[in-house]
Chain A
Amino acid sequence: MLAGSQGAAEGPSAPRMGSGRAWRLRTFGPTDTLVAARMLTAAMNGATNGQTLVRDVMRPPVLVPERTWFRELVRLLRDSGSGFLTVVDAGGMPIGAVTGEDLLLKLARRRIEERPAGHESAGRRAERRKAAAVTARELMSEPLVSVPPGEPAAEAVRVMRRRGLRHLAVVDGGGRAVGVVERGDLLATLLRDDDEIRQDVEDLLARELRGGAIGVGVMVCDGVVLLRRLRDLDFRLDDVLPAVLEVEGVLAARVLDVSVAERWRCPS
Chain B
Amino acid sequence: MSPTIQDVMTSPVVTISPDAELKDAAARLRAGGFSALPVVDSQGRLVGILSEADLLARAERPATSVRSGTLAGQLMSRPVVTVSADASLTEAADLLLRYGLQRLPVVDGAGRLAGIASRGDLLKVFLRSDEEVARDVRERLRAEGLPDLVTAVEDGVVTLSGGAGEEPARRVVEAVAGVVAVRDVPAVG
- Which A residues fall within an 8 A CB radius of B? 26, 28-29, 31-33, 69-71, 74-75, 77-78, 100-101, 103-111, 132, 134, 184, 187-189, 246, 248-249
Contacts and interface: CB of A to CB of B under 8 A. Distances in A.
Nearest to A189: B60
Q: Which 8 A-B pairs have the closest CB atoms?
A: A107-B93, A188-B57, A110-B175, A108-B93, A70-B180, A100-B119, A108-B94, A74-B126
Interface in B39-84: 52-53, 56-57, 59-64
A107 B89 CA distance: 7
Nearest to B63: A246
29 contacts: A26-B60, A28-B59, A29-B62, A32-B30, A33-B30, A70-B156, A71-B126, A74-B127, A78-B123, A78-B124, A78-B127, A100-B120, A100-B123, A101-B97, A101-B119, A104-B96, A104-B97, A106-B126, A107-B92, A107-B123, A107-B177, A108-B90, A108-B94, A110-B90, A184-B53, A184-B56, A187-B56, A188-B57, A248-B61
A52 to B, nearest CB: 14
B125 interface: yes
A132 B181 contact: yes
B139 interface: no
B66 to A, nearest CB: 10
Nearest to B130: A71
A93 to B, nearest CB: 26
Point out which of A29, A106, A107, A249 has the most chain B C-beta atoms below 10 A from its C-beta.
A107
